[in-house]
Amino acid sequence: MCGIAGIFFKNAETNANLGRALVDMLDGCQHRGLDSTGFALYENTFKGLRLRFIVDDDSEATVARVKTALAQQGAALLSEKREGASFVVEVEYSGEIRPFAYAMEHAAKLVSIGSSLDIIKDVGTAHDLDGVYGIRSIAGSHGVGHVRLATESEVKPEAAHPFWATGFSDVAIVHNGQITNYWKMRRRLEARGFEFRTDNDSELIAVYLAEKLAQGETLEQALEQSVDDLDGVFSFLVSTKDGIGFAKDRLAAKPMVMFENDDLVAIASEEVSLNRLFPGRPLSTTEPAPGTFRTWSH
């Protein structure tokens, strides 16, 4: 079992307190997964392209490999920092993202690449991560988050969610469910040269959607096709540099509820997460119908 949450502030210029909102929302559904927590946050303060890596016990060697790989790829290092289980760099890079991403993933465990996306994930609760990474202080326009109860893989930072679309920048996903045609779809993507770093079906959905966006389709078109192409039971949220969207399978076995007003859209597995945004206030919420999808963008 796991829980998902997402929020989209309609005025991208307000620089809203994104981190605080997502910490509160994930805390509301933390009972759905206490093993690990993660956030995909979209900010507007990056100097260049941001890359976040998971570093293991041999952290100095990992950092050295990352810096060597950056130099080999022609990426100029602008800043670097160690943060919790992560090593974070911002670089100036003007080349093609996909081969760059694959090269960097061969150097270390890459969590995300983005001109505005930063994925922060680790073992522990939303409040645990806030204590280490200062999530509440992060301002931004939109983001998604996930709480996880491990059932099929280890409890470690790289196994936590969200997942980014490997080989693409600024695309992330949180997912509740199971894709039953995972291997069939993965083999098709691998035959076209795409690489995967895990056997997690959330990573598959992210790459599937990102490829369609790269081909010129809109996020709405990609989500519409996903309802037909993905087999299984699922509710997922996808985020891009410009917005967010959701899709639900036609059986609607996995819960999802949403709230929208003039200022924001909030979506989560349970209404308690939405109530955390407006404590003490009654909310008019809706549950997306089976087989539906929707997007919001700036």
What is the spatial distance between Cα 141 and Cα 76, in angstroms, rounded to a whole number?
Answer: 27
SS3 145: strand
**Residue 4, strand partner residues:** 146
Among the listed residues 2, 23, 244, 256, the single catalytic one is 2
Residue 102, number of CB atoms within 10 A of its CB: 16
Listed as own residue / partner, the contacts of 181-189 with beta carbons closer than 8 Å and 24 or more positions apart are 181/230, 181/231, 181/232, 185/229, 185/230
The DSSP code for 139 is -
Q: Is 29 a catalytic residue?
A: no
What is the spatial distance between Cα 28 and Cα 117, in angstroms, rounded to a whole number?
Answer: 24
Backbone angles phi, psi at 242, to 5 degrees: -100, -15
Q: Can you tell me which residue has the tokens 């999808």?
A: 293
Cis peptide before 162 (omega within 30 of 0): yes
Give Cβ neighbours of residue 280 (< 8 Å, ≥ 6 apart): none
**Residue 80, strand partner residues:** 89
What is the spatial distance between Cα 22 and Cα 144, in angstroms, rounded to a whole number?
Answer: 7
Active site residues: 2
